[in-house]
Structures are given as C-alpha cells and as structure tokens.
Amino acid sequence: MNDFDAEDDDDETDEFNDDDDDDNELASNSTLTSRAEHGDKPEHKDKPKPKPKHKNKGHPAHPGKGKPGKGKPKKGGPRYVVYADNWLSEKTFPSKKSLGGYTHFNLAFWMSQAPKDNALSWTQMSAASRKKLKKGLGREYTKLMVSAFGATEQPTTQGKNAIKTAHSLAQFVKKHDFDGVDVDYEDLDAFNSGSGKAEKWLIDFTRTLRKELGPKKIISHAPLAPWFQTGGRWHGGGYLKVHKEVGKMIDFYNIQFYNRALSTSGSCKTLMEKSDHQWPKTSVMEIIKSGVPGSKIVVGKPAGKKDATNGFMGAKELGQCLKKYHGKNGFTGSAMVWQWANAGKKWVQAVRGAGKGHGKPGQGKPGHGKPGHGKPKGHDDKPKNHDDKPKGHDNKPMEHEGKEQHGKGNQIADVQMSG
C-alpha cells in the first residue's frame, strides 16, 4: 500500500494521458497502453498446481535463492539495469549466463546524427549475428535497450526538433530489434534556464516516441535525482512536470543518485528517506511522496568509486538498503549501475544476494515516469582502444552555488554524469 497520495499504477490497462496542450499534434494517441515488459498470455487455471517441495521463502517480487538469470521474470518484481558503453564485439557481447541476473542491458549511445559506441557496434553486426546475440541474452529474461543522448548531446539547446528526433530514434529501435529505448537526456543548460523548454521538449519527444513505438516497446527515462525537487526550484516544473504530463507513457525511471554536490545520497538514509539540505526532497521516498509511483523508481549507482565523483555505495550495502525498503510505498527494490565494464555480473549478484530468500527477480510493471550517463568515450566509428574507460566521463559534480540565473532558480553547473 502506498502511504502517499501518489499516482496508482497497479492497473496494467491504464491509458496514457494525452489531454495536454492542443498544439501537440500527437494528442490523438491517448488510447495507447504500455505493456512493454509483460506478455498478454492468460493464466491457465484449469490444471491444479503441484505442491512446492519447500516452503515459500518470502515475497516473490524480490531476488531469491538459486542461480541468477534462471526462469522467466515475475511481474511486479525488481528491475536490474546496466549500461554498456565500452565497446563490445560479437566475441565480447554478454550472454544470459555472463549477465548474472540483469533484467535490462542498455547499449550506449544513440545520437541524433548517428549512433556511437555500443549503439554503433550493434549496427555493424550482421542481422544474423544480432539475432543470435539477442537470443543469447534470454529474450524472456533480459531486455535489450538502446540509450539515447547522454552528456554528449544537448538536443534542446542545440535546437533539435523533438518530434523529428523521436521519429528517427523510433525507426532505429525498430530496425535493429531493440526491446525499447532509454532516454538519457542531460541538457543541463535547458533545464537550468527555467524557461520550461527542456520539459516541453521531453514531453513532446516522449509522446512521439510512444506513438511511434506502440505499447509493447519499453520506454525508460534517466533523469538526475535533483530534477525531481519540489518547491519551485525548477521554474519549468522539472521532472515532476514531465511525469505529470507523460508519466503513463514511461515504463520506469533509472534515477542517478550520484555525481551530486558533496556526498549526498551516499548513505542508505539519505538515499531512501531524507536527502540532505543541498538537494531536499529528492530521496526515493520523497520522490514517491511527490507523486511518482514507487514501482517506477530504479536506484542508480556507479559500479566503483572511479565511476562517479560521489554517491558510491558497495553493491552488498546497496542490496541490503534496497531490501530494507522493499515494499514500502510501492518501491520494488530496483537498481541500476553504470557501467557494465566495471560492474560485470558480480555487482548484480551482490545486490541480489543481499536480499536472498525473496523469490525470483522480475521485469516489473510498466511505470510512470535517470540522470545522465556522461559522455561516452569518443565517438569515432571505431574506438582506438576498446579497453579504455568511456571518454568524456569528467565526473564533475553538480555545484550548488546558491546562484540564480536570470531569477529563474538555482543553477546546476558543469555536470558531466558518468552513468
């Protein structure tokens, strides 16, 4: 039960709310329903179920005993998301076994001009190779996603048309057989301006994307945790505005709780219950209280201390923290990590292992509503060194300077998110 007055997303047949501004040419798409992560096969109740040999060890939505990656994920269970930016070839692309239990594998990054890094690598493989590799992930277990933008591209500031850009991305997703797309929008200048242009761009972009992809493809967003702050900090409305307008078209949010000023969200309490004074009202429970369903929140953390300026939490400690709050106000204990090269399967096994005895992991229900993954390493068609860390990951923290930009609100300066 959700103790807060948050939006109820238990009904999988909820329709998208497209009753927004008349100037949006996509408002006619209001009847689409997101079932991106679930099949529509009815349950067969005519056969009696065999009695289990062992007693139930806990809630079925939380990770359980046994080898990770086994069986079909349960609806309503936690998501485990990982980003892959370091170059992957056909030989180094992971399989279901080597993934160790991730439910979503995000290839970074798609750019409006051309795909880069692993998004590019995927296109350079033959259709037969892509089909084989995707099958190796376990279609019913791990979803293959492509992540767009990152810190390298600022689409609003650069004047990219939201509708045309979404159309191009949707065509890319469908052509290369992705299960969905992650919108890693990091146009800080547009957000900081307080003009509302960033929010409107994201709203128009998401509406178009959902219309183009239909209800069965996954759409996740990757907002910065501070963008959910209330109290007029974001004069354009911030991500709460985005969620209000198109949240039902978004399956879940991979929220980055790192690379922020000082060491905020470094402890379980500041991460989950009450964020510190620099970015108030941006802990998981506070974001839920602001209206974002707990089932849509995925807690993002860096794989290691070198993957972010701050906010690092050991995988086992994170798993114990998520387990502690699992089920509270709809939170499913979902986690995300930047990035695959430094996390591997050990990270997700440690996170899941900290919550053993609670059933199998799942894809979760489509959500309502992640901050950025930094600049990928260079954007040459072929990387010079596949073993290097992603280029451009400056890991600069958000600087809380108390300044105002033209009276529009406090500024977040020089942020280069690393995942």
Count Cβ atoms below 10 Å from residue 327 Cβ, excluding itself: 16
pLDDT for position 74: 62
Per-residue confidence band for 308, with pLDDT thresholds at 50, 70 and 90: confident
3-state secondary structure the chain: CCCCCCCCCCCCCCCCCCCCCCCCCCHHHCCCCCCCCCCCCCCCCCCCCCCCCCCCCCCCCCCCCCCCCCCCCCCCCCCEEEEECCCCCCCCCCCHHHHCCCCEEEEEEECCCCCCHHHHHHHHCCHHHHHHHHHHHCCCCCEEEEEEEECCCCCCCCCCCHHHHHHHHHHHHHHCCCCEEEEEECCHHHHHCCCCHHHHHHHHHHHHHHHHHCCCCEEEECCEHHHHCCCCCCCCCHHHHHHHHHHHHCCEEEEECCCCCCCCCCCHHHHHCCCCCCCCCCCHHHHHHCCCCHHHEEEEEECCHHHCCCCCCCHHHHHHHHHHHCCHHHCCCCEEEECHHHHHHHHHHHHHHCCCCCCCCCCCCCCCCCCCCCCCCCCCCCCCCCCCCCCCCCCCCCEEEEEECCCCCEEEECCCCCC
Say which range, 29-43, 111-125, 339-353, has the weakest mean pLDDT: 29-43
pLDDT bin (cut points 50, 70, 90) of residue 378 is very low
Which pairing describes strands 335-338 and 297-302: parallel, antiparallel, or unpaired?
parallel
Contacts 24+ apart (CB under 8 A), 190-193: 190/154, 190/156, 190/157, 191/227, 191/234, 191/236, 191/238, 191/412, 192/405, 192/408, 192/409, 192/411, 192/412, 192/413, 193/236, 193/405, 193/406, 193/408
Q: Is the pLDDT of residue 22 over 90?
A: no
CA dihedral 394, 105, 302, 344 (to 10 degrees): -110
* pLDDT at 70 (0 to 100): 47
- In this prediction, residue 73 carries a pLDDT of 56
Highest mean pLDDT among 41-45, 68-72, 75-79, 295-299: 295-299
Q: What is the pLDDT of residue 18?
A: 40
Task: Give the pLDDT band (50/70/90) at residue 265.
Answer: low
pLDDT at site 259: 82
Structure tokens at 337: 């990590």
Q: Please name which of 124, 118, 125 lies closest in space to residue 148, comparing C-alpha atoms.
A: 118
| Confidence tier at 205 by pLDDT (50, 70, 90) | very high
Burial classification of residue 47, based on how many CB atoms lie within 10 Å of its CB (0-12 exposed, 13-18 middle, 19 or more buried): exposed
**Position with higher pLDDT, 388 vs 73:** 73
pLDDT at 229 over 60: yes
The confidence band for 231, taking pLDDT boundaries of 50, 70 and 90, is confident
The tens digit of pLDDT for each residue in 283-295 reads 999 999 999 999 9
Q: Which of 97-101, 105-109, 266-270 has the lowest mean pLDDT?
A: 266-270
Give the model's pLDDT for residue 56.
Answer: 37
Per-residue pLDDT of 147-194, as tens digits, reads 999 989 999 999 999 999 999 999 999 999 999 999 999 999 999 999
More confident residue, 139 or 232: 232
d(CA 208, CA 189): 23
| pLDDT band, very low/low/confident/very high, at 232 (cuts 50, 70, 90) | confident
Query: What's the confidence (pLDDT) of residue 310?
Result: 85
Q: What is residue 51's predicted lDDT score, i.e. its pLDDT?
A: 46
pLDDT at residue 60, as a whole number: 33
pLDDT tens for each residue of 54-78: 443 333 333 333 444 444 556 678 9
The average confidence (pLDDT) of the chain is 76
User: Tens digits of per-residue pLDDT, 349-376?
Assistant: 999 998 554 444 444 444 333 444 444 4
